[in-house]
Structure formats: structure tokens, C-alpha cells
Amino acid sequence: MLRDVEARVISNTRLSADYNVIALAAPDIAAEARPGQFVMVKSGRGGDPLLRRPFSVFEILRSNNHVEGLTLLSKRIGVTTTILFEAVEGDTISCLGPLGRPFELVDPPAEAWMVAGGVGLAPFATLAEALLARGTKTTLFYGARSGAELFYLDWFASRGIRLVLATEDGSLGDRARITIPLERELRDFGSRIPDPGSRPASDLPPSTDVMIYACGPEPMLEAVAHVASKFKRPSQVSVERTMGCGMGGCYSCVIPVRDSTAGAGSAHHYVRSCIAGPVFRGDEIAWD
Amino acid sequence: MGVDLSVQVGALTLANPIIAASGCFGYGVEYKDAIDLSTLGGVAVKGLFLKEREGHPPERIVETPSGMLNAIGLQGIGVHRFIREKLPELRQLGATVIVNICGSTLDEYVELARILSDAEGVAALELNISCPNIKEGGITFGCSLHGTFEVVSAVKKVTPLPVIPKLTPNVTDVASFARASEEAGADAVSLVNTFLAMAIDVETRRPKLSNIVGGLSGPAIRPIAVRMVYECRRAVKIPVIGMGGIASARDALEFIIAGATAVQVGTANFVDPFIWSKLLDGLTEYMRRHEIARIADLVGTIDTTAREKQWISS
């Protein structure tokens, strides 16, 4: 059920000069939020900023089987994220949700590979917990500019999630974009299963022995979707477009999707990423 | 004290004066989890052409102080899919449906009016002759007195439904457009649509909207909209439906006192999809406090007589 909650700030932890994790007392939204869903946050009181901003639900906060609230992972970029960065315990933040189409989960023996770029880590804590609860083997591919911007590594590692890291400056993991180790591992993974033959990829149903989930900058999502298609693996990407309302009212957050999945080059039409997404199949989006 | 919120727009009785504004409420069904649509005075659905439309590429909106610019470009499913896919559900939800129609030519407006007059569950037609974001048709009618007269009279000839031209503020004298609408037989006018505006990213020197220009809405435009509603109220006898930056019951009351029989709420719904009951409660509270039994009696009651000096004894 959709709710608008004046949520009290439980805590606000600065992870770096720009990143923070803010915990909000919005238990009713948290209890219903599914991995990949988002909330629309209004941090200001008056007309600046006027509109809400979308944030993936990062963590669900629980104590003694009781849902206390949720956290948001935020990077200080604009007005709203600055207010979120500077908020202190006891402040209130208006939080509308849960909204959007969640990730589809996979069960063993299929594996889950989550690919995060920067603040795109946001939906993967809840996704990881949901996957682990089903016993699905889960890997996090996580890239950022430098090692200092890779957060929550212990959180994921302590839950048995395999980490594959990449940084642009090489300070942690591969010195590369995260799609480089992703492609390498997909190639290795592919060599462990029988060759699907020489038919073109579009003739084959994708193998669901591994599901790839991605969230991050759109060029990264495009690259992940292409790599996944190249190795005939399905992908789900969580997009972020400029959003006005989060509920399908304003038609601002549209993204082009293919009219059919027949292949690249076919006609596309715009769909609202707030209600048709934010999670889409990687091969559904008309990236070009 | 019981209060009567109902208002009369031509032959159409609205349960209350609060209408969801076209272009800000999807096709209405998107909001059924947030609001019982039957509690609204009306639901003005997103502007419809005969055919489906793709709209402009992103970026389609940008925020500005106390407002936003949009250049959506009237993306839409077209009238036939609307009647097939949305109207039955709106009917079932008990919505008073005002269909906003857009044409590139006079004939398209007439065709749309004909088609919708035969559909079950349409309460009124709002003529979009004021969208600033599309090149063809629409606003070219709305920016010419002759064009406004022509399109309203042509539509009136083919439909028994109340016809409400939605006026643009991007003209020198909006009241003359209200008069042209009245002379052509309009049952009411609604105003204002958005103000043509633009915003530029100074770092890249690029416009912030893909369409370069867009329409400004939100609280930033409210005082101008109130003034225009006031001018139109004095120019015509048909009901005026006011809109422009309404975000609270007090804002709605300002329009009503200026002369609006009903009001539409758009941008504020993006911020708060639960705004509707707050607006209705606020109107009721105001009427009780001022002992006004019928909100219709409040319409246009602005007191412009010279103020007497008030001496406060110390």
C-alpha cells in the first residue's frame, strides 16, 4: 500500500565527503518494500526543492523481527542530496512509497550476479538479502572511481557474498570499468557449460543459470546489458531518469523500450520508468 | 454545520470544485491507490490526440524556483485506446471524467469530440488550445481570437457534452479569449495553462529541456494565474475554472474568491498525491469558520471596495 510518511531521521552516517547512509523511521514502507523498489523523498519544506527525488531503498532496518525503518544510500550532488547529507537525528524527511517494479528473483541452482557502479549499490543490499534467503549464490561486482568510494564491503562479505571489485584508479580490485571483470567471468562461466552452438543469440532462449542485475550510470547499464546479451545471459537493470512524481502522472521519466525484442534497430516507444520500471530487462531498452 | 461543496459548470454538476488537472494526473487510474477518484470534483485526463503520440525525448522536465518547466510533448495513447483501456476503469471508479482533447486541425478536434460523445462515461470535454510544447495546432488556435472562436463553435456543433476551452496565458489579454470562447458557445473556460519559459545550464550552455522551451507551472505562477482568472471572471458570464500553482486549500480559495467556480490542481499532485483530502478538508473548515453554507456562494466574492482606515486604539 502506498504511504506518505513524515519519517524521523534515526541516524545519518557519512561514508565519505559525499556519500551518506541515512536511516529513516518509515517502518510501514520498509515492511512492504521489495528489492528494487524506491521511495520519493521530499527534504525541503517549501518550494526549493519543490519536487521529490527518487531513492532506492538501501537497507531494511530490523530489530528483534520488528521492522524499524529503512536506509537510503545517497551521494551529495544537488539540493535534495545535500539536505540528506546534512540531516541530523530527529529531523523529518517526507518519504512516499514503496514505488516501482521490483527485481525478479532467481532460485538455485541459478546464480545471481549484481553489478553496481558508484551510488548504484543502492538496491543491492535488499536484493542480496532476498536472494540469500532463497539460497541463491550471489556475487557483487562493484566499481567506483577509487577504493575510498567502495562502501559496505564487509556488510556484503560477511553475508557470504563474493566480491569482485574494480576502480578507475586501480586502488582496489581491477583497474578497469566493472564490465571488464564481468565480461571475463561470464566468459569463464560460459566455458563451464556446454556450447549452445553456433546459432545466433536471438534464436536462443537466454540461459538462466546466471541472472545479472545492474544499477549505476546509464552507460554502465548499457554496457552490462550488451555483455549479458553477448554471453546469452538475461539481465535486469535499474534505471534512473529525471522523475517528477514517481507515480506515472507526469511522463517525465520516460525511457525508450523496443517495440519487440526482435533485436536492435527495431522501433521503440517511451514508457514511464517510474511505473514500468525502474527495473527493466536489459534487452528491453532501446539503448541506441 | 453541513456545507455544500457542489458547483455547477454549465449543465454539469460537480460534487466539489476540486479537479485533477490534465497533464498532471496521467489517465487518473495511476492514482487509484492514493485517492478514491469518485471523491474528486473531476478528473481531467492527459491530453488526447486521435492517434498515439511519442512525445519529446528526455529531458522533459526541469525544476525552477517554486516551480517546474515541462516539455512532455503530449505523449499519449490516443483516443481509441483511451476509450478501450482507460475509460471503463475510470467509469467503474466513479470518476467524473473530463477529457482533454488536442488536435492539429479543426477537423481533428471535431472528430475527437464526435468519438468521445459516443463513449460512455465522459462528463465534459476540455479543449487543449494552449499546450506550449507542440508546434502544430493546439496553441495556434489558442493564440488567435478567430481560431479560438472557430474551434469552440465547431466542437459545440457536434457534441452535447459541456465544452471547456483551456486558455493559454501566453497572450496579451486572456480575457478577450474568454469572451471569444463564450461567444462561440463554450460552457466554461479553464485557465491558465503553463507559461512558456526556458532554463539554461550555464556550464554547458545547453538548454535544460530537449525541446529548448517548456511550460512553467507550480506555485511560481500562482499570482499571475489568480489575476488572469479575476480578469476573465469580469469579462464573461460562463463559469471560469481556475488553475496555476494551487498547493493548498487557501490557494484554491484565492482562485474561488477571484472568480473561479472550480479549480484544477496539477503540479502539487506530483509532490503530494494525497493532497486531495487535505484540499477538501481545508475548504470545509474555511466554510464553517466563515459560515458559508454553499461554496458556490463564495465564487467571485472578492471585495475591492476602498478600504476604510482602521484605527487601533492603544
B49-75: per-residue pLDDT in tens?
999 999 999 999 999 999 999 999 999
pLDDT of A188: 87
Residue B304 pairs in a beta bridge with none
Q: What is the residue extent of each domain of chain B?
A: 7-298
Per-residue confidence band for B193, with pLDDT thresholds at 50, 70 and 90: very high
pLDDT of A261: 54
Nearest-neighbour CA in chain A from B291: distance (Å): 31
The reported pTM is 0.93
Report in angstroms the alpha-carbon separations of A61 from A32, A66, A71, A155, B207: 12, 8, 7, 14, 42
Q: What is the pLDDT of residues A39-70, one digit of tens each?
A: 999 987 777 889 999 999 999 999 888 999 99
Q: What single letter denotes the amino acid at residue B308?
A: E
Contact check, Cβ <8 Å, A47/B218: yes
Dist CA B177 CA B146 (whole Å): 9
- And the C-alpha cell for B297? 456562494
At residue B262, what are phi and psi to the nearest 5 degrees? -145, 165
Classified as helix, coil or strand, A56 is: strand
Question: A154: how many CB neighbours lie within 10 A of its CB?
Answer: 9
E strands, chain B, in order? 7-9, 12-14, 18-20, 42-48, 61-64, 67-70, 97-101, 124-128, 163-166, 189-191, 195-198, 200-201, 206-207, 213-217, 240-243, 260-265
- And the C-alpha cell for A133? 534467503
Per the prediction, chain B carries an average pLDDT of: 94
Per-residue confidence band for A199, with pLDDT thresholds at 50, 70 and 90: very low
Residue B76 pairs in a beta bridge with B53
What does the DSSP assignment read for B249-284? Answer: HHHHHHHHHHTEEEEEE-HHHHH-TTHHHHHHHHHH
pLDDT at A276 over 60: yes
Residue A165 pairs in a beta bridge with A142
Look up the CATH superfamily of A3-99: Translation factors (2.40.30.10)
Segment (H or E) for A45: none
Q: How many CB pairs under 8 A join A and B?
A: 91
Contact check, Cβ <8 Å, B66/A250: no
Per-residue confidence band for B167, with pLDDT thresholds at 50, 70 and 90: very high
- Beta-carbon contacts of A83 under 8 Å, excluding residues fewer than 6 positions away, are A43, A44
More confident residue, A261 or A237: A237
Residues A217, A224 contacting (CB under 8 angstroms): no
Q: Which residues of B are annotated as catalytic?
A: 131
Contact check, Cβ <8 Å, A270/B54: yes
Q: Tell me the average pLDDT across A199-227.
A: 81
Q: What is the pLDDT of residues B225-279, one digit of tens each?
A: 999 999 999 999 999 999 999 999 999 999 999 999 999 999 999 999 999 999 9
CATH number attached to the domain at A111-240: 3.40.50.80
Per-residue confidence band for B145, with pLDDT thresholds at 50, 70 and 90: very high
pLDDT at A197 over 90: no
pLDDT of B309: 67
Dist CA B265 CA B273 (whole Å): 11
pLDDT at A262 over 60: no
Q: Tell me the average pLDDT across A126-132.
A: 97
pLDDT at A207 over 60: no
Dist CA A30 CA A87 (whole Å): 20
Residue B200 pairs in a beta bridge with B207
Contact check, Cβ <8 Å, A249/B271: no
Percent of residues, chain A, with pLDDT higher than 90: 84
Residue keyed to cell 454553499: B294
Q: Tell me the average pLDDT across B186-202.
A: 97
Q: What is the residue extent of each domain of chain A?
A: 3-99, 111-240
pLDDT at A264 over 90: no
Residues A224, A269 contacting (CB under 8 angstroms): no
Q: What single letter denotes the amino acid at residue B262?
A: A
**What is the ipTM metric for this complex?**
0.92
What does the DSSP assignment read for B157-168? Answer: HH-SS-EEEEPP
Dist CA A119 CA A35 (whole Å): 16
Contact check, Cβ <8 Å, B65/A241: no
pLDDT at B125 over 50: yes
DSSP state of A149: G
Residues A220, A227 contacting (CB under 8 angstroms): no
Residue of B nearest to A1 (CA): B33
Dist CA B167 CA B13 (whole Å): 22
Q: What single letter denotes the amino acid at residue B45?
A: V
Report yes or no: B34 at the A interface, CB cutoff 8 Å: yes
More confident residue, A263 or A41: A41
Per-residue confidence band for A189, with pLDDT thresholds at 50, 70 and 90: confident
- And the C-alpha cell for A230? 553477448
Interface subset of A 245-264, CB within 8 angstroms of B: 245, 247-255
Interface subset of B 218-277, CB within 8 angstroms of A: 218-220, 267, 269-274
Contacts of B34 in chain A (CB under 8 A): 2, 247
Q: What single letter denotes the amino acid at residue B181?
A: S
Q: How many residues does chain A have?
A: 288
Nearest CB partner across the interface for B66, out of A4, A50, A247: A50
Q: Which of B279, B294, B285 is nearest to B4 (CA)?
A: B294
For domain B7-298, say whether CATH 3.40.109.10 is its number: no
